[in-house]
Amino acid sequence: MDFLKWGRSPWGEDILIRISWDLLYLSAIGGVLFLIGHALYVRFWPQPVPEKGDAATTAALAARIPERVARHSVAARAFHWVMAAAMFVLLFSAFLPIVGVKFAWVTIHWIAGVILTLSIIYHTVHATFWLDFWSIWPEKGDIEDSRRRMLRGVGQSAPAPRKHGKYPLENKLYHLIILITGLAVIGTGVFMMKRVQTPFFTRNPYLFTDQAWGVMYVAHGLAGVGLVALVMAHVYFAIRPEKLWITYSMIFGWIDRGHYLEHHDPQRWNVARPVPPPPPDEDAAKGRRIAV
């Protein structure tokens, strides 16, 4: 199997054209195998029992947790679904013709690309200034938690990991990798629009050297086929029964108190209502605790 497709410049030089579309099938097969593997793992491997917290504390906390914990603002949800739609359109318009479903895909593809780009610019600004910016980035503690969770996942003994903050590490990593692949496709895709007729640019395929374009096409292709697997995984998790509550949150914007308490660490993601004025010392102690 070739990983890259080479062509010939008008001067007879070997130039990189793009990745081999074999990689698309590789990515898709890889994605499917992962899903099957994961599904089998969940179905047949004894799952670790979640740690029960200190009942009293939980109860006290629960009292202060709203019935519906707001997870995603309307703006954030709108972004997610616009981005998702754009991504599906991009993937289908890119890859359906390759697998034999022929239609005029280029205009659809670049328009979806422009929408994706604009939505991401919006998201970047919105997340930076209006959202809890750091909540989505992996942090040092996540690594230890992750190690413990994995050991426990395969039946080894390990100290209990912390519960998640607003986003589990998987979520954070997924975001990170989507961000990298997304930037790669967008960054290359914007320049690739110079190679086709659009209302924005005068077409100029000579903007870069053949070699530079080759690298760009390969990056676009790699990110693109990578996204096939990533999106498959994402959709898979979104429809897994035990994860549906998260999916609902992306639709309705909230999770219920139970899921919050079960999966999230209130210290890492504090959604508690301010308590009614308690005795001063207790208040200070509690305040400290929460502030830790």
Partner 1 sequence: MPERTLVGQNYTTPDLVAKVTGKAKYAEDYRAEGMLFCKLLLSPMPHARVRRIDSSKALAMKGVVGVLTADDFPPVKPDQSGLKPEQALTNEPVYQGEPILAVAAVDEVTAADAIELIELDLEPLPFAVDPIESLRPEGANARLEGNAYVDRKVATLKWTAEDFREVAAGRLPFGKGADEWKVGDVDAGFKQADVVIDETVVIQSTGHQPLETRTAMAYWQNGKLYLHGSTQSVARTVASVAGWVGVEPSKVVIVSEYTGGGFGSKIPGAHSMAIPALLSKKTGRPVMMRISREEEHFIGRARAGMQARARLGMRKDGRITALDLYIVMDNGPYSAQGDARSSGSIASLAYQPMTMRFRSVAVLTNTPPRTSQRSPGGMQVNAILEPIITKAARKLGLDQVAVRHINAPAGKAPYGPPGQNGKQRYVTSAFVKEALDRGVELFGWDARKGRSGQRRGSKARGIGVAVSPYVGGSIGFDAIMTIRPDGRLYFQSGIGNLGTHSTIDVHRVAAELLGMPWEKCEVIWGDTSKHVPWSCSSAGSQTVHAMTRAAHAGAMDAKRKLQELAAHDLGGKPDDYDVSNERVHRKGNASGGLTFAQAAKRAIELGGKYDGHELPKDINPMTKTSATALAGLGLMGVAKDNYPRDGDTHSYVVGFAEVEVDVETGAYQILDYTAVADCGTVLHPHSLAGQIHGGSVLGMGHAIGQRWTYDQHYGRPLAKRFHHTKPPTILDVPVAMKWDAVNIPDPETPVGARGIGEPPVGAGYGAVLNALVDALGDDAFRRTPVTPDVIVAALDAGKWTHEALTAHV
Partner 2 sequence: MAVIRDVMPAFELFQPANVEEALSLLNRYKSDAWVMAGGLDSFDWLKDRIKRPKVVVDLVGVKELEGVRASGDGLEIGAMTTLTDLVRHPLVREKFGMLLEAAEAAASPQIRNQGTIGGNVSQDTRCWYYRDGWECYRAGGNICYADTPTAMNREHAIFDADRCVAVNPSDTAPALIALDAKMVIRSTSGEQIVDAEHYFIGPGIDITRMTVLKPGDLLVAIRIPGTWAGSQFYFEKVRDRKVWDFPLVNVASVMKTSGGTIQDLRLALNGVAAHPVRLRAVEAAVRGKPRNEQTAEMAGLMAIEGAKPLRHNGYKLPLVRNLVKRAIRGVEGSWTS
- Binding positions for partner 1, rule: CB under 8 A: 9-12, 206
Tell me how far apart the alpha carbons of residues 120 and 123 are, in angstroms, rounded to a whole number: 5
Packed helices 74-99 and 210-239: angle between N→C axes, nearest 10 degrees: 120
CB burial readout 165-188, b (16+ within 10 A) else e: bbbbbebbebeeebeebbebbbeb
Complex with partner 2: residue 102 or 273, whichever CB lies closer = 102
Give CA–CA dist 167/265, Å, rounded.
10
> In the complex, what is the shortest distance from the CB of residue 8 to partner 1, in angstroms, rounded to a whole number?
9
Asked if 159 is part of the footprint of partner 2 (rule: CB under 8 A), the reply reads: no
Q: Is 17 in the site for partner 2 (CB under 8 A)?
A: yes
Report if residue 12 touches partner 2, rule: CB under 8 A.
yes
Under the binding rule (CB under 8 A), the answer on residue 128 touching partner 2 is no
- 102 binding partner (options partner 1, partner 2, none; Cβ < 5 to 8 Å by kind): partner 2
Q: State the binding partner of 172 from partner 2, partner 1, none, CB within 5 to 8 A by kind.
A: none
Give whichever of 12 and 199 is closer to partner 1, judged by the CB atom.
12
**CB atoms < 10 A from the CB of 81, how many?**
13
In this structure, what DSSP letter does residue 241 have?
A: G
* Closer to partner 2 by Cβ: residue 99 or 150: 99
CA 161-166-170 angle, 5° bins: 60
Would you say 264 and 124 are in contact if contact means Cβ atoms under 8 Å apart? no
**Residue count, binding to partner 2 (CB under 8 A):** 23
- 159 or 205: whose CB is closer to partner 1? 205
Q: Which residues contact partner 2 (rule: CB under 8 A)?
A: 7-10, 12, 17-18, 102-107, 195-197, 202-206, 213, 217
